[in-house]
Structure 1
């Protein structure tokens, strides 16, 4: 099924069916594809059994975010927790939300708790999240689990109980960094609060357990999960094309795409090591590692290349350590 998705670059059953070699009609294969998502016993633990051994050694940066799309009037809503590999986040755990809009604190806590059973807190360098993921109970839970936080907060957040964030950084200039002189009391925890103003004039305020100088640099890495969603949705494997809306089936499909994405990333890393991508005038690569990995992998599958077995074996080889990655410009 993964090979069919990679070749079709789509999650539509009828398109996947065209790339599955079976002695049957296209309609019959299409129904078979649908039965896979209905009957297959693919669990998150199965997916993690493949992905966790791929993780590089040492401390890992985790990122949490939510992705959603609509099919007609039905909403598909996934809460995702993944690890930063280079400039992209590899999802490791997810929850299919049965409602639209923001996630509940209980759902976040349960998701983190499940991953902690497979990836202990001593491996977590920090958890990065956007301003949707705030609240006293949530912050207390992460502290209790020994997870360092780097989370954007809203401008109406109260610090030290009697002052709002929007009143603390009124003199900010674009590109300037400001911080409160001492740790502030934010959602029941003493944390550093650091702010900057984006070139578009948007005030970005982050509360963290990190040093003042590391806070914003770390938070900028959150963009990696946006790159992930782009690769899995409209600009890559086209998750949004699926006509499935049942949470359980969407979760199975997402798990398959996570394996496909990891494979693309791992192949892309290998290709990049052998032949680095040329940089454009603005300093960014002409093509992402993940896209390069997809192209090499797709060609090998489509033409039954002798290199396919070598590419398959990369799913048993961990990613290189984070120190080996070069930093690249990141957007807010």
Structure 2
């Protein structure tokens, strides 16, 4: 399920805009008891309260320094001590903190990506319920949506270059492109056994191309003279 709303602006959404989006989604989907995994821009007490009222759990990534004072005033290890232990010893750290009269958990774990950029060596989260290492490890699955964004915008479908202004047209195009992406991944997944692997002692080997890239090859194969030359025609034939 993909639910979105075009904001017609640059930058992150406001707390009110997020609430409006989720209110629309709640009219069609039962999200109670589900867990939201969100990136660093999606914080704010009003937003946290809204999610709690809707019965939606959350694990939201934080920037370094977010709620620094709240951690230090909660007693025990300071924010910096937690960070240093996590970075230096790989320890999973968490602390219960209070924000505007409500209680949350701030947790830290070392970034599983050994090649993480400077400043991203430790991933910091905020959650409503007491987290375990496995809980925040699930957040790494959220990074997969970044692959979707990259392929839709620039790496495959070029949605960014279209620069459609009318909302109705851009929404229609987004729907079609998301469908094409899903079919592409499905086609690539079915053909994953044909992807050549590159042997590497250090990394244990890796695929020479991505599932997405292999899937696009099914969408660009030649058509017969009587067949329509349409990028979706190849994907449609490979889908079950």
Q: TM-score, normalised by structure 2?
A: 0.75
CA pair 230-170 structure 1, distance change in 2 beyond 3 A? closer
| In 1, Cα distance between equivalents of 2:155 and 2:217 | 13
2:23 corresponding residue in structure 1: 113
Gaps of 5+ in 2: none
| In 2, Cα distance between equivalents of 1:110 and 1:227 | 26
2:158 corresponding residue in structure 1: 238
1:151 corresponding residue in structure 2: 60
Kept in 1, the 8 Å contact 2:90–2:110? The answer is yes
Is 1:140 the counterpart of 2:49? The answer is yes
Q: Which protein has the bigger strand share?
A: 1
Kept in 2, the 8 Å contact 1:233–1:239? The answer is yes
Bigger RCO (CA 8 Å, 6+ sep): 1
Kept in 2, the 8 Å contact 1:179–1:212? The answer is no
* Alignment partner of 1:277 out of 170, 174, 195: 195
Kept in 2, the 8 Å contact 1:264–1:297? The answer is yes
Is 1:179 the counterpart of 2:93? The answer is yes
| In 1, Cα distance between equivalents of 2:159 and 2:150 | 10
Kept in 2, the 8 Å contact 1:94–1:111? The answer is yes
CA pair 169-300 structure 1, distance change in 2 beyond 3 A? farther
| In 2, Cα distance between equivalents of 1:110 and 1:302 | 48
| In 2, Cα distance between equivalents of 1:187 and 1:286 | 50
CA pair 235-123 structure 1, distance change in 2 beyond 3 A? farther
| In 2, Cα distance between equivalents of 1:302 and 1:242 | 28
Alpha-carbon displacement from aligned partner over 1:84-128 (angstroms, at most 9, x marks no partner)? xxxxxxxx111111332221112112222222333312583x211
Kept in 2, the 8 Å contact 1:268–1:290? The answer is yes
Kept in 1, the 8 Å contact 2:33–2:55? The answer is no
Q: CA deviation at 1:242?
A: 0.8
Alpha-carbon displacement from aligned partner over 1:50-85 (angstroms, at most 9, x marks no partner)? xx5xxxxxxxxxxxxxxxxxxxxxxxxxxxxxxxxx
